[in-house]
Structure 1
Amino acid sequence: MWATKRKTTIMNLCVNSRLGTVFLSTKDVPHTTQHIYKYIESCIQEVGSENVVQIVTNNFSEKTESQKLLNEKKPTVFWTSCATNTINLMLEDITDLPMFKKVLDQAKALTVFIYSHHKTLTLMRNFTKKRDIVRQGVTKSASTFLTLQILLKKKTEIQNMFSSMELEEFEYSKVHGKFVYEIVQETGFWENVALCLKVFSPLIKVLRMVDIDKKPSMGFVYGEIMNARKAIRDVLGDCEKDYELIMDIISSNMRGKLDSCLHLTAYLLNPYYHYKDCSLQHDGEVMDAVLEFFDTIFHGDLEMQHQIINVELPKYKNKEGAFGRELAAKACEVNDDDFDPGNWWGTFGGSTPELRKIAMRVLSLTTSSSGCDRNRHTLKRAHMKKVNELTTTQMNNYIFVQFNLNLKSKYKKNKQMNMEVLLASDAKEAQEWLVDDDDDDDDDKVELEMLWEADEVDYESDGVHIMEEYGDVDII
């Protein structure tokens, strides 16, 4: 959703299933709780209440009040926050910590210096064989991580550039480049870049997982954030004062967003975590969430709650029957692209038919609305004066076709293994790495839209195995 100058809100709704996300409709509504609620409810009716488990929205101010209204009419529907947005906020808060801010400011000074003039930009591309060092990500934090990663990868080329005769002969570098030259030649700078990457990468992996939505992420998001917390503590070692600040940021951003009874129930029902750590079933917070979840989804149906909680769930927890087969444990021991916890339940959950039905449904849910939200440029084009001459029906048909074509294109790109899925097609989220907002004097600055020409940039795959690449570094 996004606000217009007329103080109305353009809302677009998509429907997600195991097969992917499909655009449903869009509407220009007054920015009030009542109107937002009515539009969401009308879309639920169109899809069918029995087919809706959750509403996933970006974090906006009307969510709480709209949720209260929805709960009165649809008490079995959950309302959750977008995981991509929430994790991005975590990363932004972490990058603002003093221990990281200095090195990030230095790295930005380096990239802004290079991208502020055509000659330095051309020289850099000559040394890196036409590889750009700024990566425009799908979010601000993704841009930060991807840019730091390519900076470290091209460390030698960048240092060679700043030691070259070509740069020394360039008058612009003599005036503006001394500070940046010192940064590039300083060993501590590159060590601190490596440390930033090691700290950020566990959460970036989670961001990547929820944003690509290559497979349903509801069963993984809570568990992977817990794994990320442990990985960050391990990176920072004995520096408790440093990692405690990061843990507080993660906890405060998760609270009320990614730790709901729906997230925790999916966490328990995902055999990948349960079979690795059977103590989950004894975690009071997890089990309280499970009770709340089934009380919600089977609102007022005590018989069904009893059947699942007291009869069927213990079989899964205690690994009875098919759950105890060696094959069941083998099938969920690796979380790779082929592992689907919903399919696992379809295979081994026969002795618990009601629980199996719920588990397959919950573990088929997405956790993000980012795919829907990022296609807002389609809506903006549709609301231009020229297009607004269309009838209402023509307008809706136009948006429906364009939006779903964009979604289809996104899924096609995600399947291409040579393309990093955190990359974006525009430089909006990477702007702070490209230009200095306070510097308006240079008439020869590079225009943002000219930075990435289709025939010039050939991005390498950044992969997901990033923790192992940076070696041992000192703490900042």
Structure 2
Amino acid sequence: MALKSIDTSDYVKTDEKLFELLDDVVEKIGEHNVVQVVTDNGSNYVLAAMLRHFTNDKELVRHAVTRFATSFLSLERVYEEKGNMRKMFTSDEWAKNKLSKEANGREATKIVNMPSFWNHAKYTLKIMGLLVQVLRLFDGEKKPSMRYIYEAMEKAKECIMKTFLNDESKFVPSQAMQQKILEEQALYKAGYGLFGSDFEKSQRKKILPAFWWRIYGHEAPNMRDLAIKILSLTCRVSECEHNWSIFEHIHTKKRNRLDHERMESLVFIKYRA
């Protein structure tokens, strides 16, 4: 039996406000009639309501579209709503809201109004969109994908190269640093100092390359950092495939409204179990 309903869309869900609302009901029905108080685990719906208002009821987080590109698709939606989000964080409604005075609210306002944030978002979408398309092709279930993969990867690489204007210096943009790395490369090839040690040479075949450079690359610090950056890149998809399988068991058609952070935590726990 429903005793009372309250429109809390304009409230900030603090402990004090919840206590105030519940205490009023408890007083009316009598403390001796209350066995237990149960609340949901939502922290605040005011910001969500305001976002829906300024974005014409569009959801910024897109969970159900794909199993492995939620972050990318959510960023894409945020970028699409760039203008509306700026309007919201500069509106009178936001300025009057208690959340705008809190640390997280001030930080959110700063980020949304920061041109560099939107430039970085655009840059990320431009590059990662191509890779997401390839990943979705991998994960397709309607037709065998292997014969399409190589062509898709080549097209993605070509598009990324065009986006960077065929500039291959992204790992080391500084010419001065490039020169240092070339000089250190000569030391490595010549077996200078520790690079000439028989023990260090023997370790190259026993430990992972990136780990080897981390331990023995002190003679060439600039080349070491570049080597670690490149050699740490994974060339396997087994871990990703394992995660996708776990994700599929947790994120089903009937259970597709999980909070993003909760969903990631469940996948992490099940993967490590």
TM-score (norm 2): 0.50
Q: TM-score, normalised by structure 1?
A: 0.30
